Amino acid sequence: MELHQAPDQPFAVPVTRRSPEWGWLEYLLHASCSTYRIRLRSACSVANKRLSLEFDARCKGLLQLHAWLPVAEIPFGQTVEDICRNGFKAGHVGVSFHVGNLQLPSLYDDGRDRGGNDRGHNVKSRGRSLPAGRRLYEFLLCRVGAGRSYLVDKAAQAESLALPPEFDSFCVRHSPANEQVVNEEFPGVLPRHVLHHEYMVRDPAQALPVYLVHFEFDPEMPELLNLPLCDSCGLQAALVYCQADDAILCRPCDTRIHSANKLASRHIRVELNRRPNGPLGSCPDHSGAEADMYCTECKLPVCQHCRKLGNHSAGEAKNHRLIGLREAYQHALKESSSTANSMLSERQRVEQQQVAQLDQRLVAVQESTQALEDGIYDQVQLAVKQGQALAEEQASLFMADELEAKRQLEQVAWMDSFMEDHVKNLPPPDYLNAWLLHAKVREDVNQLGRLQQARASAMLRLEGGLRLVTDDSKVYSSEAAGTMTAAPRPRGGKSPPKTRFLLDG
Ligand SMILES: [Zn+2]
Ligand SMILES: [Zn+2]
Ligand SMILES: [Zn+2]
Ligand SMILES: [Zn+2]
């Protein structure tokens, strides 16, 4: 794989190492790949005024998201340079962007294929090989104006659909059942929340390249996200610490051990990271040395080497206020939990409100649908009852006719049998006389008892149909034998159309 030399591009400006921007990008990669074995090697900010103006014009007010795009997966044969200079091509199909977890092929080295969707976006490229199993990847971080998304089950489905005018993008459903994946291969790592949303945009102006990064995955790096194993079962990640037992335990063992008897149930347990005298971790500048202090001015952990010979040994930094690392840590934990609520961004608040409102609307739609169904069923039941009564009436007329016809036949048969059984044995003259009489009787029967053709109508038909009327006076009607015309598409933002029905015809 040829790597593109980002710094040569006029549209890309290198990001300074260890700057907040750099840290943000690296952290985003750690979170996306759920591993700390990733090191950012280079990052360039794509500074293309024209593209960002076009993006802002198109996506103003739309929901926007950040998505990583592996350079090896850029569609339509475009190069990174091409995209940074001229933007994306969307074709008629559009470009797919994946939000959430990235599944790098080298995260697992046993060569088994794990399927992509249950663990996030399965990156196809294995990256460029480096010594010792390390790999170098090239990704583009993009901003995507997703706006309102039309949900589809498969990407292929979206390819053949026209995007309905109320929507800005497609969202492809990815197995929501697997949002919580237990990581059985790495028992020391917590079950991770896997997120995988795929958005497809048709308008190239809805995607903007913002950073080009090269990062390295190194399987030899310590996995800081690994948790120690449970002291009891030794299989699962320990999450709690019990001071009385001086043991770290996984949740199932904690429950089992501490519900065994009353005494044990009184043990005070704390979350693992709050255990007193836990390991402190090493100094970022002096690996192997424990960082026991924290500089409140540099916002950096400091070890004894730093104080004796390093960055806090001389000059102005020598007088920086240092506090115990544990104290700083406890302070930060307290702050993070107490501000967890107030840190909710405005956007989250708005989104939570929207979710609540949409829930209400969905409930309203469901209720209106229920009322509609109930109403239709009531009408149908009434119609069925009336139909049954009419049918009974008709049937009773037919039945009467049928019985009458049978009676006529019986009568003829009865007369004929009299002829056969008795009259036939009369002496011939009497027989001849009787025969004339019999014929006359038959004639009479024929003339008088002639069954009239059915007096009732033989069939009930359904005429007309149901008309559904929405709040905004759209009418959807069904013909008696046909099917209901297309259901109204919900228009977001507006209150749900209440649907009434009218029995027509
Ligand atoms: Zn356990
Ligand atoms: Zn205990
Ligand atoms: Zn300092
Ligand atoms: Zn140090």
Residue 46 within a domain:
yes
Q: 123 and 152: one domain?
A: yes
What pLDDT sits at residue 97? 92
Instruction: Give 15 Cα–ligand 4 centroid separation in angstroms.
Output: 25
Please name the residue that has the structure tokens 């008696």: 480
Q: 175 and 32: one domain?
A: yes
What pLDDT sits at residue 287? 81
Instruction: Give 49 Cα–ligand 2 centroid separation in angstroms.
Output: 61
Q: 149 and 257: one domain?
A: no
Instruction: Give 275 Cα–ligand 2 centroid separation in angstroms.
Output: 13
Query: Are the C-beta atoms of 58 and 177 separated by less than 8 Å?
Result: no
Residue 333 within a domain:
yes
Ligand positioned closest to the Cα atom of 306: 4
Mean pLDDT by 10 residues, the chain (505 residues): 47 87 88 84 91 92 88 89 89 85 68 48 80 89 88 84 85 63 48 75 92 91 79 87 92 93 92 79 84 88 90 89 88 74 67 84 85 84 84 74 70 71 70 74 64 58 75 69 41 46 48
d(CA 382, CA 359): 34
CATH of the domain at 112: 3.90.228.10
Instruction: Give 245 Cα–ligand 1 centroid separation in angstroms.
Output: 14
Residue 114 within a domain:
yes
What pLDDT sits at residue 493? 43
Q: 471 and 453: one domain?
A: no
Q: 40 and 153: one domain?
A: yes
Q: 383 and 479: one domain?
A: no
Instruction: Give 298 Cα–ligand 3 centroid separation in angstroms.
Output: 4
Instruction: Give 244 Cα–ligand 2 centroid separation in angstroms.
Output: 5
DSSP state for residue 167 in the 8-state scheme? -
Instruction: Give 261 Cα–ligand 2 centroid separation in angstroms.
Output: 11
Instruction: Give 316 Cα–ligand 3 centroid separation in angstroms.
Output: 9
Kindly calculate the radius of gyration of the chain based on its CA atoms and give it in whole angstroms. 41
The answer to whether the Cα torsion of 145, 151, 153, 156 is positive or negative is negative
What H or E segment, with its residue span, contains residue 169? strand 169-172
Instruction: Give 267 Cα–ligand 2 centroid separation in angstroms.
Output: 5
Instruction: Give 190 Cα–ligand 2 centroid separation in angstroms.
Output: 22
Query: Are the C-beta atoms of 452 and 404 separated by less than 8 Å?
Result: no
Torsional class of 238: left (φ above 0), alpha (ψ -120 to 50), beta (otherwise): beta
Instruction: Give 22 Cα–ligand 3 centroid separation in angstroms.
Output: 21
Q: 57 and 203: one domain?
A: yes
Q: Is 62 in a helix, a strand, or coil?
A: coil
Residue 69 within a domain:
yes
CATH of the domain at 333: 3.30.160.60
What is the number of domains present in the chain? Answer: 5
What pLDDT sits at residue 112? 40
Q: Final residue of a domain: which of 179, 195, 217? A: 217
Instruction: Give 37 Cα–ligand 4 centroid separation in angstroms.
Output: 21
Which of 482, 484, 483, 460 has its CA nearest to residue 474? 484
What pLDDT sits at residue 110? 39
Say which residues have a Cβ less than 8 Å from residue 180's Cβ, sequence separation at least 6: 191, 192, 193, 194
Q: 454 and 465: one domain?
A: no
Instruction: Give 284 Cα–ligand 4 centroid separation in angstroms.
Output: 6
Residue 1 within a domain:
no
Give 150's strand partners.
170
Instruction: Give 396 Cα–ligand 1 centroid separation in angstroms.
Output: 78
Ligand positioned closest to the Cα atom of 300: 3
Residue 222 within a domain:
no
Q: 262 and 354: one domain?
A: no
Residue 210 within a domain:
yes
Domain range holding 34? 6-217
Q: 56 and 167: one domain?
A: yes
What pLDDT sits at residue 258? 94
Q: Final residue of a domain: which of 263, 278, 293? A: 278
Instruction: Give 292 Cα–ligand 3 centroid separation in angstroms.
Output: 14
d(CA 423, CA 419): 5
Instruction: Give 36 Cα–ligand 1 centroid separation in angstroms.
Output: 24
Q: Final residue of a domain: which of 278, 294, 314? A: 278
Q: 239 and 212: one domain?
A: no
Instruction: Give 280 Cα–ligand 2 centroid separation in angstroms.
Output: 23
Residue 334 within a domain:
yes
Q: 191 and 255: one domain?
A: no
What pLDDT sits at residue 6? 46
